[in-house]
Chain A
Amino acid sequence: MSSLSGRLLLALSILLLLFFSITIAVLDSAFRSASEKAVADRLEIQLTGLLSAVEIDDYGGVSFPDELPEARFNNPGSGLFGEVADENGERIWRSGSLVGLGITDSHGSLSAGETHFEQLTLSDDSGVFALSLGVMWELSEVESTRLTFRVAERLEPYYAQINRFRTQLLGWFASVMLLMIAAQALFLRWALSPLRRIESEVREIEDGERAELGSGYPRELKGATQNINTLIGSERERLTRYRNTLGNLAHSLKTPLAVLRNGLSTPDMSPESAGELQKQIDRMDDIVGYQLQRAAASGSMTLGHVAVDVVTEIRAVRETLDKVYADKRPQCTLDIDDSESVQFFGDKGDLLEVLGNLLDNAYKWCKGAIQVSLKSVQKPDARRPGLSLVVEDDGPGMNVEDTRLLLERGARADETVDGQGIGLAVVKEIVNLQGGTLQLLRSSLGGAKIAIHIPPK
């Protein structure tokens, strides 16, 4: 069983079932013995009535009136029977209700004062409760005889009562139990709702819709949620620190490179050696630049990124490049479906790296027109939509074959590549980390066309 609430509900149902079974068994046996006691009491009253009806006849024998005060003794089928036996066990009297029947007796006659309450059978095999009493009956002052009085009642009414009781008991308990299980299911839902909230919030974090778990969790879960938040925070911090370290590394390497490069312009150096040093410095610079940018591309593996609005960032990059290329002032048109916002689920720096490199290339090479098309890519069962970004210009177009080869090689920085190549390689790296693809095409505007597709996930 994989569900917590399922487990709890099962355990609780078993417990309830056990409790009710024991309760039912105890109640049932108590009711039975009470019922039996009631039958015995009733029979004792009838026995007393029978004893008081005995008369001594003129011959010194025992005799009964034809009609007893208790009418049920006289009615056949009334279910109440009576009989009297002498000391030999011979029946000397039978009630009118016993016509055609006889009580099968195991004891015969009883000694004086001896009583038995037991279940006996009639000659038609139906069962009765019977109360028997042995009595020493004084016929005269000197003569007495031993008699056994017995009254009996049919079992059917007793069993009917027991069954009625059981039906009622089971009916009530079953409905109470169902009610309790249903109520328990509701309580569990309520009690476990914080767990479901964690689940949905973690999902939102994965989807980039929220940065950390919210507050207001119950005491027992606070530790766990705080730990999750700390984990997300430290992961993010680690990445930031990593980035900063890389940035510092860049700074510490590039500034000396800048110093070296500018030292080359001193006149007391031969042009050949200056040229060679210059070449080596440029190469070192390219290596540092490429490896740092590559390492800084974080991809989508980390938790806790908030989704970034792509259109806003495109506008920011365009504004930046409009300033930088103020002399050229190319017309950069955005072809964006305004009906839905397009979002990038990853690091904002990565997105800016992609946009910056692509747009910078376009601004650099275009004659005057740049076209940026952006749309969201939806899939019915995907949790987050993908995106499709196309940047094209009317410039001379890059040598598609060369660039493609360069990208396929993975843009090793120790090869001689120009800035465009490094930029594109970094873009490809980031797009690949997002599970997407980069295509180099020729634009209908005349220049390069770079299409990026990040699939929905």
Chain B
Amino acid sequence: MRLLVVEDEAPLREGLAKHFASQGFVVDSAADGTEGLYFGKEYPADLAIVDLGLPGMSGMDLIRTLRESGKEFPILILTARDRWQDKVEGLQAGADDYVVKPFHMEEVAARVNALLRRTTGWSQPVLQCGPISLDTRRQEVCVHDAPIELTSYEYRVLEHLMLHAGEVVSKTELTESLYEQDYDRDSNVIEVFVGRLRKKLDPDGSLKPIETLRGRGYRMVLERYSA
């Protein structure tokens, strides 16, 4: 998952970037609206966190411009001015949710997960594909209700595949959502992650949750349950 953070306050921006990177997100950080607009337009973000009180181009204008240029990824607003007028205007400009400063990092993470899940059509915080369940709030994965230990990269790969269950996800897409731009694309790291995932989720090979489509990518084949 690729995340864009636009926040002028360096400690907060770095805190957010660090937190989400540790969760396995790829984070692009921007310190002002103009830079944010550049990242938003040039890089395939899955979600943006935008502070409303930005120097230069305001957060509100940034959101409007992004929406006008056809960007449809969810946007989470950070606002210090918790007047309702700002919230209503922000959401009407095209944002999807807000968090009022000062926030708990867990709260932002929860909102981000919820937004990502929602935009892919999951209305519940727990994704369920066959016997595999993935709780986006607790970042827990269970198979037949038995918890499975995953690294954060493995978790992100599985989350991505489950969010897009039934669809083909290319290796490039997975790479971009896991790593910075300059990563070597030819690396077989994704194959390694998928291999490890298969081993952890399906040690006896009875489930076969992830299908490999040669030259095209991977697909979560287990049936998706939507509550």
Contacts and interface: CB of A to CB of B under 8 A. Distances in A.
Nearest to A355: B84
A259 B87 CA distance: 22
A209 interface: no
Contacts of A348: 85
Contacts of B83: 247, 293, 296, 349, 352-353
A327 B113 CA distance: 12
Contact of B91 (A250, A289, A319): A319
B102 A258 contact: yes
Contact of A317 (B80, B88, B101): B88
A320 B96 CA distance: 8
A324 interface: yes
Contacts of A434: none
A371 interface: no
A352 B85 CA distance: 6
A312 to B, nearest CB: 11
Interface stretch (B8-16, B159-167, B184-192, B204-212): B8-16
B12 A258 contact: yes
A260 B102 contact: yes
Contact of B105 (A262, A313, A317): A262
A420 B92 CA distance: 24
Contact of A293 (B82, B88, B105): B82
Interface string B68-105: 00000000000011111101100110001110011111
A319 B92 contact: yes
Closest 8 CB pairs of A and B: A356-B84, A258-B102, A257-B102, A251-B80, A254-B80, A254-B101, A352-B84, A320-B91
B44 interface: no
A251 B102 contact: no
A316 B88 contact: yes
B15 A250 contact: no
B85 to A, nearest CB: 4
Nearest to B111: A324
B114 interface: yes
B217 interface: no
Interface residues of B, number: 29
25 contacts: A247-B80, A250-B81, A251-B53, A251-B81, A254-B80, A255-B9, A255-B101, A257-B102, A258-B9, A258-B101, A259-B12, A261-B103, A262-B11, A262-B12, A262-B19, A320-B88, A320-B91, A323-B96, A324-B97, A327-B123, A327-B124, A352-B83, A352-B84, A352-B85, A353-B84
Contacts, number: 90
A422 to B, nearest CB: 10
Contacts of A355: 84
Interface of A: 247, 250-251, 253-255, 257-263, 265, 281, 285, 289, 293, 296, 313, 316-317, 319-320, 323-324, 326-327, 348-349, 352-353, 355-357
B131 interface: no
Interface in B9-50: 9, 11-12, 15, 19
Contacts of B88: 313, 316-317, 320, 352, 356
Given A247-B81, A319-B91, A255 B118 contact: no
A408 B104 CA distance: 31
A427 to B, nearest CB: 10
A310 to B, nearest CB: 14
B102 A250 contact: no
Contacts of A323: 91, 96-97
A297 to B, nearest CB: 10
Contacts of A326: 118, 123
A259 B97 contact: no
Contacts of A257: 101-102
Given A250-B80, A285-B102, A348-B85, 17 more contacts: A250-B82, A251-B80, A251-B81, A254-B101, A255-B12, A255-B80, A258-B103, A259-B9, A263-B11, A289-B82, A296-B83, A316-B88, A319-B91, A319-B92, A320-B87, A320-B91, A349-B83
